[in-house]
Chains A and B, each alone.
Chain A
Amino acid sequence: MNFTSPIVIAELICLIGAFIFLRNDKTVFWKLSIAYLLLALLTEAAGSYMSAKRENNLWLYNAFVFFEIGFIFIGIYHSLKDYLNPKPILFVGLGIVYAIYFGFILKDSIMVFNSVAVTVMSVVFSLYCLYYYYLLLNDDKFIEIKDHPQFWWITGVLFYYFGGTVCNLLSDVFDVRFGKGFTLRYVITITLNLILYSVWTYSYTCRAKQRKLQS
């Protein structure tokens, strides 16, 4: 039985990194990152297992998307709150994404991949990330971005969701297979996951450094 895939390995490394660097963190968001990564790892491992057994695992990924939306919104809130009160603008985005998510499930059932919600959330997350950069650039204070955990966390999100936009938009158009039967979509997804988890792991090291400096 096959539980492993490049994505599972990337998630496992990121989870270990998160556990090492964030386990003593007192901020809720960073603590929550460990739980989220554990959930992502379990979902991916279970998804791989079900795929190997040729079972439909789309309901599992659809269920995970629910938590993914919530967690990414919390992360964006945590990053934006340094510059303004982000609740009003975030609640609008959150409302739209969840409305589409539940609307799609009610319409097509949970057994069909919720591509509309994933596409919309990718666009919404990308816009929030760009807005974060805008606020960062306009802020009078200077931050050393090289060691700034929120900056790198947001950068990971932007790479993953902005980079995955083409994939999401054209998901129904192509189904090209490479060696060992991987589809092009899967190859791109692996690449995006590797980027996301590498950048996030780096942001966790930055957070550990920041915490050390603040203590």
Chain B
Amino acid sequence: MQSETTKITILVVVATLIFLLMPVFLIMYIRSYNRHKKNHILEKQHMQQKFEAEMLQARIEVQDNTMQTIATELHDNVGQLLSLTTLTLNSINLENSEKAAIKIENSLSLVRKSIKELRELAKLLHGEQIVENGIGNALQQEINWLEKTGTYVLNVRNSLFDLQTTSPDKDLIILRLLQEIINNIIKHANATAISFDAYYENNKLYLNVEENGVGFNYEATKLNKAGMGLNSISKRIEMINGKLVLNSTPNKGTAILIEIPYP
């Protein structure tokens, strides 16, 4: 009888201990899961901060690029036009009224041209508003400025004007990517012809830029961290979950295809 009682006692004590230990293990599991959840949330916050910092950087770079374009235009274009206007006005001989009238008419034409150029520049000063008119317009504006230099033969196909969806953050990054690509072409490629193809398909935005410049060794340049802003391009594309395909052949040129989930 005594042995039976002892057995029951042990059974009850062990069973109660097990029933008490189960919540302990459960709490340990919740604690561990919660810690993972915390790390995940912190990581997400960190990535969000990184994204915001990158956005800020892109915004600053777009503004810098705009300012440089404006400075160049003021110096090389408007400045020249106004100098020419001054020269023309200075050379007017009021005694020869016929010639003076022609010169005044020429000066007026130069001033009108200067005003037109200044209006174009004023549009650029809107900075971020560039992307507010849609990514199609923003990309086209960049291409237009390149076209104005007259250095390149351009072949442009831009199907993004009627894009119904927008993503302001991504638009800014895409614009910055195009600016960076154009800068690289101007600085390093020695190209004579550039083709742009921008289109939207199956919730993805594609930007294809090809040029016939000197080309380069992509793999070697990738390893060189300071190389041509390529790292910056790759990093930004990665940040918006995009893909970069770059094919470059020495002396034949480079083709860049960017694929970005959009919006």
A-side interface residues toward B, CB under 8 Å?
Answer: 130, 133, 136-137, 142-143, 145, 155, 158-159, 162-167, 170, 173-174, 176, 184, 188, 195
In-complex Cβ contact of A174 among B9, B19, B23, B33 (8 A): B9
Across-interface contacts of A162 in B (CB, < 8 A): 19-20, 22-23
A170 CA / B15 CA spacing, docked (Å) = 10
Residues of chain A contacted by B8 (CB below 8 angstroms):
170, 173-174, 176
* Residue-wise interface mask of B (105-140) relative to A, using a CB-CB cutoff of 8 A (1 in contact, 0 not): 000000000000000000000000000000000000
How many whole Å from A141's CB to the nearest CB in chain B? Answer: 8
Q: A142-B34, A142-B37, A159-B20 are in contact. Are A133 and B26 (CB under 8 A)?
A: yes
Whether A167 contacts B23 by the Cβ 8 Å rule is no
A136, B19: Cβ atoms under 8 Å?
Answer: no
A202–B128 CA distance with the chains assembled, in angstroms: 54
Given contacts A133-B26, A142-B34, contact A167 B12 (CB under 8 A): yes
For the complex of A and B, the 8 pairs showing the least CB-CB separation, nearest first, are: A166-B15, A163-B20, A166-B16, A176-B9, A142-B41, A163-B19, A158-B23, A174-B8
Question: Roughly how many angstroms separate A9 CA and B19 CA in the complex, as a whole number?
Answer: 25
The answer to whether A166 and B30 touch across the interface, beta carbons within 8 angstroms, is: no
Whether the pair A137, B12 counts as a contact (CB closer than 8 A) is no
Known: A159-B23, A188-B13. 7 other contacts (CB 8 A): A137-B33, A137-B34, A137-B37, A166-B12, A166-B15, A166-B16, A167-B12
B41 lies within 8 A of A133 (CB): no
A-B contacts, 11 of them at CB < 8 A, read A136-B30, A137-B33, A137-B34, A145-B30, A145-B31, A155-B27, A162-B19, A162-B20, A164-B19, A184-B12, A188-B12
Given contacts A155-B27, A176-B5, contact A163 B16 (CB under 8 A): yes
Q: Would you call B252 an interface residue if the criterion is a C-beta within 8 Å of the partner chain's C-beta atoms? A: no
Interface hits, B30-79 → A, CB 8 Å: 30-31, 33-34, 37-38, 41
User: Who on chain A is nearest to B18 by CB?
Assistant: A166
How near does chain A come to B208, taking the closest CB pair, in angstroms?
A: 39
CB B14 to nearest CB in A, in angstroms, measures: 9
Separation of A47 and B59 alpha carbons in the complex (Å): 75
Residue of A137, A163, A176, A188 near B23 (CB, 8 A) is: A163
A56 and B52 CA atoms in complex are apart in Å by 71
Known A137-B33, A145-B30, A176-B8: A155·B23 in contact at CB below 8 Å: yes
Q: Is the pair B12, A142 in contact by a Cβ cutoff of 8 Å?
A: no
| CB of A42 to closest CB in B, whole Å | 28
CB 8 Å contact bits of B182-226 with A (1 = contact, 0 = none): 000000000000000000000000000000000000000000000
Query: How many angstroms from the CA of A155 to the CA of B20 in the assembled complex?
Result: 11
Task: Enumerate chain A residues within 8 angstroms of B13, measured Cβ to Cβ.
Answer: 184, 188
For B16, the chain A residues whose CB sits under 8 A away are: 163, 166-167, 188
**How long is the Cα–Cα vector from A197 to B232 in the complex, in angstroms?**
59
Min CB distance, A171 to chain B, in Å? 10
Q: How far is the CA of A142 from the CA of B38 in the complex (A)?
A: 6
CB neighbours of A145 from chain B (8 A): 30-31, 34
